[in-house]
Amino acid sequence: MKGIRMDACRRVVGLLLLGAAVCAAASAQDMRENVMKSLFADQKASHAGDAVTIIVVETNSASNDASTNSTRESNFSVGAQTSSTAPAVNFGLGTSNGFKGSGGTSSKGSVQAKLSARVDSVLPNGNLVISGNRVIIVNGEKQIITISGVVRPSDIQADNSLYSYNIADAQIAFEGDGIVSRAQGPGWITKLLHWLL
């Protein structure tokens, strides 16, 4: 009788342990979710709707120089002389052509900003599609910063920030609207004259 009870107790304990193991395995299936809940892990963006801080540091510089130099020269002459009493006949023809040209272009740009973006979706390979914008209005002058692209989770730092040069297919736009922006552009009369000419 005691042996039957011991077997029954062991079976119950075994079933309880098995149930606990199944529950633990089920709750551990989503590793990213558990990382987000952990007190010891870094909280990085990994799901759709998560936010990530973008540090925009863009510096561009380009230059191009070109030079051309060509010359061409040709001469032709004819001479004739008869007796000492007749005048001498001389004929000459000469042509020359030359061209020299040079040109150069250069451009430089630098942009620094910091804004937050949202994870729109997660690609099958785990990369994150992000997009975000920031609108700043100061004294009626509006500045709009927009950014979008694809991010690898390994490029996101421990503080959930990301440099803009780590964004693939990045599209970064800085636009302004207001009195200052309108004053920097040409007037409508100037635009009309440029269009006509």
Mind listing the pLDDT tens digit for each residue in 68-94? 777 777 666 656 565 556 566 666 666
d(CA 95, CA 73): 6
d(CA 16, CA 184): 75
45: left (phi over 0), alpha (psi -120 to 50) or beta: beta
Is the pLDDT reported for residue 55 higher than 80? yes
Number of alpha carbons in the 13 Å side-chain half-sphere of residue 172: 20
Number of domains the chain is built from: 2
Query: 142-170: per-residue pLDDT in tens?
Result: 888 899 999 999 999 988 999 998 999 98
Kindly state the tokens that stand for 122.
Answer: 């997660």
170 against 42, higher pLDDT: 170
d(CA 158, CA 165): 17
Query: What's the mean pLDDT in 22-26?
Result: 57
Domain residue limits at 31: 2-37
Is the pLDDT reported for residue 52 higher than 70? yes
Asked if 69 and 151 sit in the same domain, the reply is: yes
Contact 142, 135 (CB under 8 A): yes
pLDDT band at 57 (very low <50, low <70, confident <90, very high): confident
Asked if 82 and 174 sit in the same domain, the reply is: yes
Is the pLDDT reported for residue 189 higher than 90? no
26 in a structural domain:
yes
Asked if 138 and 82 sit in the same domain, the reply is: yes
Asked if 60 and 131 sit in the same domain, the reply is: yes
Asked if 26 and 120 sit in the same domain, the reply is: no
Asked if 77 and 160 sit in the same domain, the reply is: yes
How buried is residue 117: exposed, middle or buried, by Cβ count under 10 Å (0-12/13-18/19+)? buried
42 in a structural domain:
no
- In this prediction, residue 163 carries a pLDDT of 92
Phi, psi of 28 (to 5 degrees): -95, 5
44 in a structural domain:
no
pLDDT band at 54 (very low <50, low <70, confident <90, very high): very high
- In this prediction, residue 117 carries a pLDDT of 92
Query: What's the mean pLDDT in 14-26?
Result: 64
pLDDT exceeding 90 applies to what percent of the chain?
A: 20
Average pLDDT value over all residues in the chain: 75
Asked if 143 and 111 sit in the same domain, the reply is: yes
24 in a structural domain:
yes
pLDDT exceeding 70 applies to what percent of the chain?
A: 59
- In this prediction, residue 87 carries a pLDDT of 61
Phi, psi of 62 (to 5 degrees): -145, 145
Asked if 24 and 83 sit in the same domain, the reply is: no
Query: 101-136: per-residue pLDDT in tens?
Result: 777 777 777 778 889 999 999 999 999 999 999 888
Asked if 33 and 128 sit in the same domain, the reply is: no
